[in-house]
Structure 1
Amino acid sequence: MASIGPNEIFFLLQGLKWTVALTLIGFIGGGVFGLLVALARTADHKLARRITAGYIAVFQGTPLLMQLFVVYYGVALIGLDIDAWLAVAIAFTLHASAFLGEIWRGGIQAVPKGQTEAAKALGLHYPSIMKDVILPQAFKIALPATIGFLVQLIKGTSLAAIVGFVELSRAGQIVSNQTFRPLTVFALVGLIYFLICWPLSLWGARQEARLQTASR
């Protein structure tokens, strides 16, 4: 059995780099589109609510693995040739937008209706009401759930290996095959995931406790 040396550690860190990059792209892109989904879900327009409800149902009701397959192989059927990096970025952005949209929809609807009525009484229009009154409170309410989803998204990036994307888990598999030390390699990979996700989980728990204290 080969030993795990600096080259193998460097390769794992390269995989970690792509895991972090994919998480950031999925979370930021999903956040942008998720905000639009949340606004549509809470709009007065009935058709917009139905369309976005269906969009959320599709992505929440199907496995992320299947969504990766559909994006990666589906675009090839319409004649587009994209690499694994772009395919998984699109898939994770769509996946995150559905979940974040629903999380933030709940935050918007949790804001007391009196806030909206008071803003309208002051003559504020819809964009100002949402930007200055509703969304700051909604995001604060939804922060623990948003952090929890971020943790799930980080761990979900391991599924990107199925379409040939080399992230942390796939890098660990490659190193394991080269060194014949699967327990050691995947214990190290698991430790890296833990060191990333555990502080985020603690932060989310503290935010939830703070929110519960403030609501009493």
Structure 2
Amino acid sequence: MMEFSTWDIVRNLLLAARWTIVLSLVAFAGGATVGLVILFLRISKQKAARVFAGGYIELFQGTPLLMQLFLSFFGLSLLGVEVPAWLAASVALILWTASFLAEIWRGCVESIPKGQWEASASLGMGRFEQMRHVILPQALTIAIPPTVGFSVQVVKGTSLTSIIGFTELAKAGQVLTNATFMPFTVYGFVALIYFALCFPLSKSSQFLERKLNVAHRDH
């Protein structure tokens, strides 16, 4: 049996953690883009758009991410289309992330007083102009803390992609456990690395939330 030192374990886990970070960034950036589109549909004056956006959010929030990963990876394979694990993982996480971000941002947009909508409408602004110049800049300030906070869930959600063969931190931990027969040591380091990734995001979210509340009280 090949001998693994503690440094060998840590080094391999850190190398795998790169893919966890990359996948998290892809999921968050892609989810933010799709989520913004869903947000506009969700608050649209068109009933069909609102129904579609509401159905999308209910579907992806109401089903397990694990099932979405399975469908993304194995679904097209049933039709004879081979999907790489990284692509299936990215697509599933982007769509899942978008459903939550859209709903978080909708709550922020709806927290803006109606007087802001009425005032901008009285200036002759269309719906898109109202959102771009008046509503979104104000909603953005409110949205930053919960958005940063949700990024923690995205990072932790990447661990499920190991089930479809994507080699990130959790998958590397499984492989190293099988090779070293040291599950406590390996998964202890896996937990520490996840903590190192998520803790700064959690604290940043709390700090931004406190700072925002102070700013509101000052006004």
With the shorter chain as reference, the TM-score category is over 0.9
- Which residue is 1:51 aligned to? 52
- Which residue is 1:141 aligned to? 142
The secondary structure found in structure 2 opposite 1:105 is: helix
The secondary structure found in structure 2 opposite 1:148 is: helix
- Which residue is 1:27 aligned to? 28
- Which residue is 2:65 aligned to? 64
- Which residue is 1:190 aligned to? 191
Deviation at 1:33, TM superposition (A): 0.5
- Which residue is 1:13 aligned to? 14
Deviation at 1:5, TM superposition (A): 4.6
TM-score (norm 1): 0.95
Separation (CA, whole Å) in 2 of partners of 1:174 and 1:4: 15
Separation (CA, whole Å) in 2 of partners of 1:215 and 1:42: 25
Q: Is the 8 A contact 2:177 2:186 kept in 1?
A: yes
Q: CA RMSD in A?
A: 1.5
Q: Is the 8 A contact 1:41 1:49 kept in 2?
A: yes
The secondary structure found in structure 2 opposite 1:62 is: coil
In structure 1, runs of 5+ residues without a counterpart are: none
Q: Is the 8 A contact 2:69 2:89 kept in 1?
A: yes
The secondary structure found in structure 2 opposite 1:124 is: coil
The aligned amino acid for 1:29 is G
Separation (CA, whole Å) in 2 of partners of 1:77 and 1:111: 46
State the Cα deviation string for residues 146-176 of structure 1 (Å, max 9, x = none).
1121101101100000001110011011112
- Which residue is 1:113 aligned to? 114
Across the two proteins, how many residue pairs are aligned to each other? 216
Separation (CA, whole Å) in 1 of partners of 2:104 and 2:80: 35
Deviation at 1:189, TM superposition (A): 1.0
TM-score (norm 2): 0.93
- Which residue is 1:90 aligned to? 91
Deviation at 1:9, TM superposition (A): 2.9
The aligned amino acid for 2:100 is F
Separation (CA, whole Å) in 1 of partners of 2:17 and 2:138: 34
Separation (CA, whole Å) in 2 of partners of 1:69 and 1:49: 28
- Which residue is 2:153 aligned to? 152
Separation (CA, whole Å) in 2 of partners of 1:78 and 1:149: 34
Q: Is the 8 A contact 1:4 1:179 kept in 2?
A: no
- Which residue is 2:181 aligned to? 180
Matched, 1:36 2:51: no
- Which residue is 1:205 aligned to? 206
Separation (CA, whole Å) in 2 of partners of 1:72 and 1:4: 35
Separation (CA, whole Å) in 2 of partners of 1:79 and 1:170: 26
* Identity among equivalent pairs (%): 47
The aligned amino acid for 2:215 is A
In structure 2, runs of 5+ residues without a counterpart are: none
Question: Which runs of 4 or more aligned residues in structure 1 lie more than 4 Å from their structure 2 counterparts after TM superposition?
Answer: none
Q: Is the 8 A contact 2:39 2:106 kept in 1?
A: yes
